[in-house]
Amino acid sequence: MQPIRFAVRLLGAVAFSALVATSIPHLAVGATAGGPAADAKPLDLANLDPTCKPCDDFYQFATGGWLKKNPIPPGHAGWGAGAQLSDENRAVLTSILEDAAKVTNAPAGSDTQKIGAFYRSCMDEAGIEKAGTGPVDSLLADINGVGTIPALVTEIGKLHVVGVNGGLGFSSDSDTKDSSKQIASLGLGGTGLPDRDYYIKDTERFVAIRKAYHTYVATQLMNLGEAQPAAETDADAIIALETVLAKATPPREELRDPAATYHPTPVAQLATLAPHVPWSAYFAAHNATSFSIIDIAIPAYVTAYDGLLAGTPLPTWKAYLRYKVADSYAGTLPKRFADASFAFRSTTLAGVKEQLPRNQRCTAATDASLRDVLGKVYVERAFPPAAKTRALALVNNLQAVLHDDIETLDWMSAPTKARAIEKLSAFTKKIGYPDKWVDFSPVTVVDGPYAANVMAVRRFQTARNIKRIGTPTDRSIFGMTPATVNAYYNPSNNEIVFPAGILQPPFFDAKADDAINYGGIGAVIGHEMTHGFDDQGRQFDASGNLSDWWTAADTAAFKKRAQCIVDEYSALEPLPGVHANGTNLQGEAIADLGGLTIAYKAFERTPQAKAHKMIDGYTPEQRFFLAYAQVWRGSQTEAAIRQAALTDPHPNPRLRVIGTLSNMPEFRAAFMCAAGTAMVRKDSCQIW
C-alpha cells in the first residue's frame, strides 16, 4: 500500500510482471521499430470471433479469435496485445543493455558504464549468492541495535531513505492548493498485503491469503537466520501490527477525494498528533532542510501509528523492520529470498506459476532504476523525432475537438464552460521523453553486489525527492521512463504525458488508416484529457490547484452523470459473483467513455470517415470500434482479476470495452444494434 494524496491518473494496466528489484504494473502496449509487431496488420480479422454477434458481446466478437489462440504464457498474470508488445519493447531494452554489459572498459560514470554494470550485477546470480545478505547486513545490525522508541523511529527514517517503508511515507509533493511550490508530505504505508480488506475480511479466500502471508513473513525471517519457532511467533506479531495500520487506512474510495487527503499542518503541532515520534530526528534521517508546514494525508493514521509505537514491544518492531528489509530487497538477495517473494506475491496473489527469464527481469529492473540513463539510448533507437511530431499533431487535434465539445454541452453553464476551456487550453503536453534528462552522475554503479547498486539508486532517488521541499515545482519532470508503455494525467501539473513506449503499434501506427489510430492512440489521448475533468481532476484548476471553479448547479449535474457510471460498473462482474467497485472505478470509466467519445468526434473529421469506404468488409466507423476493442484484448488469471477488483481503479479489459461501448449511440449506429440487445444500455451514461 503506497503513500496516498491524490492519484496521478494512469491509462491502465493489463499485465503484471514480477521484477527483480521492483514490481511495476504496466499497460503493456509498446512496440518498437523492427519488433515483431512492425509488420503486423493494423486490424487482423483473424482475431475476431464470428460466432458471436457484435451486439451481444462486442468484446468476444472483436477479440474472441485471438483469446482462443493465445493462452497466458508462463511468467505472466495476464496476456494480451499489451503484454505481447511490452515484451517486444523490453527486447529492445535488453539488446541495449547486453551491448553495454559487454563493454567492460567504459569510462567510469558514463551512461554505458552505469547501465552495463547495473545489468551485469543483476545477471550475476553466482555473485548474488556469494554476497549473501552482506549488502543489507548493516541495515539489519542497525535495527538490532535499537533500544528506545526514539531510536526506533530514527531507524525507520533511515530505512525509508533506502526504499524500506516502515509505515511513515515522508516525501515532497506539490502543494495541493498552490502547485507552484513543493511542500513536505506525510502519507500512508507499511502494510504488506495489497489492500486493507486482505487484513479485515474473513471470507475463505482472505483467510487463506493471510495464512499464506504468515508463511511468507516467517520464511523471510528464517532466510535471515531466525529459528523457525521464533519466526512463526514474530510473523504473528508482525501481521497484527500491519492489521492495525490497515484498519487506520481509509477505504480506497474514500481516498479519491483530494480534499480528504490534504491537511497542511504546522510542524510544531506534530508533537501533539504523535508525541512518541522524534520528528526532528526522523526528518534529519532524510537530510531534510528546515520546513514549517507538512501536508498530512490522514492525520488519524498518524495518531494510530503513534499508538502502535507506544503499545507494541520493541522486539516486535525490530522483527517487523527486519522482515521489511528482506521483503523490499528480496529480488536482489540470494535465491531463497527471491523464490519466497515470488511464491507469495506472484503465485499466491496473482496466479503466476513461473518467473520470467532473468534477463527480462533484469531489463525491467534497470529501466525502473536507471530511468533516464537507459531512456536516452532507447529514444535514439526506437522513437525518431518525426514520431514525436506526428503524435503532438494528433494530441493538438483532439484538444481542439474537446474544446468544441465543451462549447456544446447542454448541462454545463457558460461560466463553468469558460473555466473548463481555460483549463483545457493550459494543458502541458509531454510527448515521448523529457526535454531535460535527470542527471544521474551522483550515482555510483559498481561491478559488485546487485543489492548494493539498487540501494545506491534508492538513496539517490530519495535524496532528489526530499531536496525539493520548499522549492518551486519543477514541471519538466517525467513521471515515467521513456520506454514505459502507459500514459497519465497529473492534476497538480495539469499535464498529459505520453511516453515513447506507447506511441507505437497497436496504438499509434503511421502505416494504418485513421480509424485504427483514432480508435487506438486517439482514445488514449482523449482518455488522459478527460481525466482533467473526471471526479478527481475536475476539482483542480488550470494552474493545477485544488479549487472549486464549478457553479453549484454544474457540480450537481456532473455528479448525477458520474453516478450513472458508478451504478453501471457496480453492476458489472469481472468474474461471476465478483462485483466491480463502481465508486473506485468511476474516474477511469469516465475517462474511457469521454476519451473514446472525443476520439470518435475527431475521427469523424478525417477524410477516411467522410469518404465512408469499406476496408476488408468493415466501414470506417466499425474499424474504429474494432481497433479500440482489439487494443484491450487479453486475459488474466483468476487471482489477478480478484486482486484487481479490490485494488485497481481501472475496469478490467473486458469491462472497459463493453461498459464503454454500450453507452455510445455511435457504436449502436455503426453495428446497427437494436434496443434490447446486450450492447445497448437502456439508460446510457454520457458526460462529454
C-alpha cell read off for 354: 513461473
| Residues 302, 273 contacting (CB under 8 angstroms) | yes
Rounded distance, CA 660 to CA 594, Å?
9
Q: How confident is the model at residue 12 (pLDDT cuts 50, 70, 90)?
A: low
**Helix/strand/coil for 28:** coil
- Residues 11-17: what's their mean pLDDT? 43
* DSSP-H helix ranges across 532-637: 552-570, 582-603, 607-611, 620-631
The highest-level CATH class for domain 9-88+385-436+499-671 is alpha beta
Residue owning grid cell 503513500: 3
- Residues 57-68: what's their mean pLDDT? 97
C-alpha cell read off for 117: 554494470
Tell me: the pLDDT tens digits for 231-275? 999 999 999 999 999 999 999 999 999 999 999 999 999 999 999
* DSSP-H helix ranges across 145-278: 149-161, 197-200, 204-223, 228-247, 270-273
- Distances, alpha carbon 309 to alpha carbons 187, 328, 566, in Å: 17, 22, 39
Tell me: the pLDDT tens digits for 471-518? 999 999 999 999 998 999 999 999 999 999 999 888 888 889 999 999
Tell me: the pLDDT tens digits for 312-363? 999 999 999 999 999 999 999 999 999 999 999 999 999 999 999 999 999 9
- Residues 418-423: what's their mean pLDDT? 98
The highest-level CATH class for domain 133-332 is mainly alpha
9-88+385-436+499-671 and 133-332 have identical folds:
no
**pTM to 2 decimals?**
0.92
Extents of the domains making up the chain = 9-88+385-436+499-671, 133-332
| Residues 367, 157 contacting (CB under 8 angstroms) | no
**Helix/strand/coil for 673:** coil
Q: Residue-wise over 227-261: b if at least 16 C-beta within 10 A, else e?
A: eeeebbbbbebbbebbbbbbebbbebeebbebeeb
**Helix/strand/coil for 362:** helix
Cβ-Cβ contacts under 8 Å for 524 (sequence gap 6 or more): 11, 487, 498, 502, 507, 595
Q: Which helix H or strand E contains 430, and what residues bound it?
A: strand 428-432
Tell me the CA end-to-end span of the chain in Å, nearest whole number.
33
C-alpha cell read off for 597: 467519445
Per-residue confidence (pLDDT) for residue 479, from 0 to 100 = 94
pLDDT, the chain, mean: 92
- Residues 513-529: what's their mean pLDDT? 96
Rounded distance, CA 304 to CA 302, Å?
5
